[in-house]
Amino acid sequence: MKKSLLAVIVIFSLTIGLVLFAADHIDAPAVGSLSTGSTIADITDFYAFESPSNSDNYVFICNVSGLTAPSATADVSFDDDVMYEFNIDNDGDAVEDLVIQAIFRDNKVFTYGAVTPENTGLMSNIAVGNTKIETDISTYGSDPSVGSSGGVQIFAGPRDDPFFMDFFRFVDIVNGAGSALGLSVPDPMDGTAYPTAFKTDAVDTFAGTNVLSIVIEVPKSSLGSSTIFSSWVESKMK
Amino acid sequence: MKFNNIFYTFSMITLALLFSCNDDDVTIPEPMTNPPTVNISMNQNVEIATTVNIDGSATTGEGALSYNWNVTNPLGNNVALSNNTATMISFEVSIKGDYGITLMVTNDGGTEMKTGKVTVTNPSFATIDQMGRPAINTVFNFFGDAATKDGYNTTKPDGGNVDSELFKGILDALQGYIGLDPVTYRNVLGLDNATTASVLATDLLMSNKEFRTTYGPADLTDLRLGENLLNGRGLNDDVIDVTLILTFAGDLTSLSGLQQGLISDNVSDNDKTHSDQFPYLASPH
């Protein structure tokens, strides 16, 4: 059924000839395309925000496997070979000083961190920290399973995709700029002219679709002593 | 006396036999118990952070068997076991290297020992996708080919994920397309395209712990970078509108008709409402 949702988009995209999505849904062929769908390694969005329920805490969210149709959601699962790593830089050099890792085994998710990693950069090992937090991977249609210890809470499982955007209108507009530059771009969607404005009756391309989410809440104090920090997330394969 | 002599002679023969023969032949009062034969089975190669189960139940022996396990970690320290006298033990491995396993089993016949080792590895994971700010690969590599998009996903922010000239070129093109002059363009923060591109080319999300998270404020007349603008990213933040405003709105004064049509995609909310309780995201459709 995910295929049927994708099929609609594929047909639509054939008319516009596009194979990429926003925010970063299906943003590159190695992790997902319209014909093959988004993979479990395809990061669709990254969020980092002060906890709405406790201002002493910070929340990190990594969403993957975008544009999953409701009827296909129960069949999408995390991969024991794919780790998600949240990186925290405290000193402004864009090198991670701390990491929070989410790893999957036997239908459970476990996390370590925030902890100083053994190595920085593109290759990571499991950063075994003082506290391992574990919980079941939540299943479609069930209440969220939350693991918690020492002020840290973790969740992994299917959720609504929180991203919202009229993506196809955006694409049509930007293709106009590409055409003006002489690039080979798809024809205008209405067959006559590229639009130069968004629609007042805009459509949220991501409405009604699901993602798999990893949500981790930690005390701000565990993220280092600096007031300002930077963060980014990676999917990493064994 | 004759009887006495016979008895005496018999006794002497018995004594002689006693002293000349092996003890076993004569003196063991009960059947002998053999010491146990110890067997352990386990996975000898495991990944770090897993639970190792070691099974000693294939040990055989007569009578009651008592087990005594000892496990040392790669640093040579004893590993605490929840029950070191059970037939099976399990423990979590948290250090890379060899764990030494010893099982001693005792019965009336004695104690036998078996040793083994569990080798713990820490696997390597290589980046296949990365993301800091929203929509960077999608928007700024919009005209890039497959290799460009895939390549961007396996970069790290240290030193910049991308040559900022590439991003500046996209900003210039989009603005030129709607009749703005990219050379004199300054965004709402007063930044020219080269500066904006150089910031975006290092793809990470900045957060200030002391201010409530907003990617962009509702009130565009009160912008404080790193406080209420580009401070983390919350679930309700309209990141696309913020990106469009930075790209097309200039300093937000005297907007042309074209600019007005491009600074919002007119989708301002998610289709489901988020919770204020962990894990915050709405249940799936």
To test the contact with chain B by mutation, choose from A49, A139, A175 the residue with the greatest count of B C-beta atoms within 10 A, namely A49
Answer whether B120's CB lies under 8 Å from B48's CB: yes
What average pLDDT does range A195-224 have in this prediction? 97
**pLDDT value of residue A9:** 40
Chain A residues within an 8 Å CB radius of B138 = 20-25, 27
Chain B nearest C-alpha distance from A55 (Å): 8
- Strands B110-121 and B45-47 turn out to be parallel
Q: Is the predicted pLDDT of residue B3 greater than 80, yes or no? A: no
Closest CA to B153 of A228, A184, A30: A30
Based on C-alpha coordinates, what's the Rg of chain A?
Answer: 20
The Cα-based distances of A154 to A213, B188, B196 in angstroms read 10, 37, 35
Q: Check if B127 contacts A (Cβ < 8 Å).
A: yes
Query: Interior CA angle at A18 toward B230 and B128, to 5°?
Result: 60
**pLDDT value of residue B143:** 80
> CA-to-CA distance for B221 and B51, rounded, in angstroms?
56
Beta bridge partners of A125: B124
What average pLDDT does range B161-187 have in this prediction? 93
Q: Check if A127 contacts B (Cβ < 8 Å).
A: no
* Percent of chain B residues topping a pLDDT of 90: 72
**Does the distance separating the beta carbons of B261 and A196 come in below 8 Å?**
yes
Closest CA to B98 of B56, B52, B45: B45
Chain B residues within an 8 Å CB radius of A95 = 158
What average pLDDT does range B206-223 have in this prediction? 90
**Does the distance separating the beta carbons of B271 and A208 come in below 8 Å?**
yes
Q: Three-state SS for B142?
A: coil
Instruction: Read off the pLDDT band of B7 (50, 70, 90).
Output: low
Q: Three-state SS for B89?
A: strand
Give me the interface pTM, i.e. the ipTM.
0.89
- pLDDT digit string (tens) for B78-95? 999 999 999 999 999 999
**pLDDT value of residue B43:** 86
Q: Check if B190 contacts A (Cβ < 8 Å).
A: no
Tell me, what amino acid is at B5?
N
**Does the distance separating the beta carbons of B150 and A28 come in below 8 Å?**
yes
Instruction: Read off the pLDDT band of B113 (50, 70, 90).
Output: very high
- pLDDT digit string (tens) for A46-95? 999 999 999 999 999 999 999 999 999 999 999 999 999 999 999 999 99
> CA-to-CA distance for A112 and A102, rounded, in angstroms?
7
What average pLDDT does range A89-113 have in this prediction? 96
Instruction: Read off the pLDDT band of B233 (50, 70, 90).
Output: very high
Output DSSP code: residue A58: E
* Percent of chain A residues topping a pLDDT of 70: 85
Answer whether B280's CB lies under 8 Å from B235's CB: yes
Q: Minimum mean pLDDT among A5-19, A171-185, B73-87, B152-166: which range?
A: A5-19
**Does the distance separating the beta carbons of A46 and B131 come in below 8 Å?**
yes
Chain A nearest C-alpha distance from B162 (Å): 13
To test the contact with chain B by mutation, choose from A27, A122, A215 the residue with the greatest count of B C-beta atoms within 10 A, namely A27
Q: Check if B53 contacts A (Cβ < 8 Å).
A: no
Residue that the structure tokens 């394969």 belong to? A237
Tell me, what amino acid is at A5?
L
- pLDDT digit string (tens) for B122-167? 999 999 999 999 988 777 778 888 888 888 899 999 988 988 998 9
Whole-structure pTM value: 0.87
**Does the distance separating the beta carbons of B174 and A204 come in below 8 Å?**
no
User: Among B261, B264, B285, whose Cβ lies nearest the Cβ of A208?
Assistant: B285
Give chain A's mean pLDDT. 88
What number of helices (H) and strands (E) belong to chain B? 7, 8
Omega of the bond prior to B279 within 30 degrees of 0, cis? Answer: yes
Contacts of A203 (CB under 8 A, 6+ apart): A166, A168, A169, B267
Q: Is A17 left (phi over 0), alpha (psi -120 to 50) or beta?
A: left
* Percent of chain B residues topping a pLDDT of 70: 89
Q: Check if A215 contacts B (Cβ < 8 Å).
A: yes
Chain A residues within an 8 Å CB radius of B232 = 47-50
Chain A residues within an 8 Å CB radius of B277 = 53
Answer whether B130's CB lies under 8 Å from B153's CB: yes
What are the structure tokens assigned to B161, written together? 């994920």
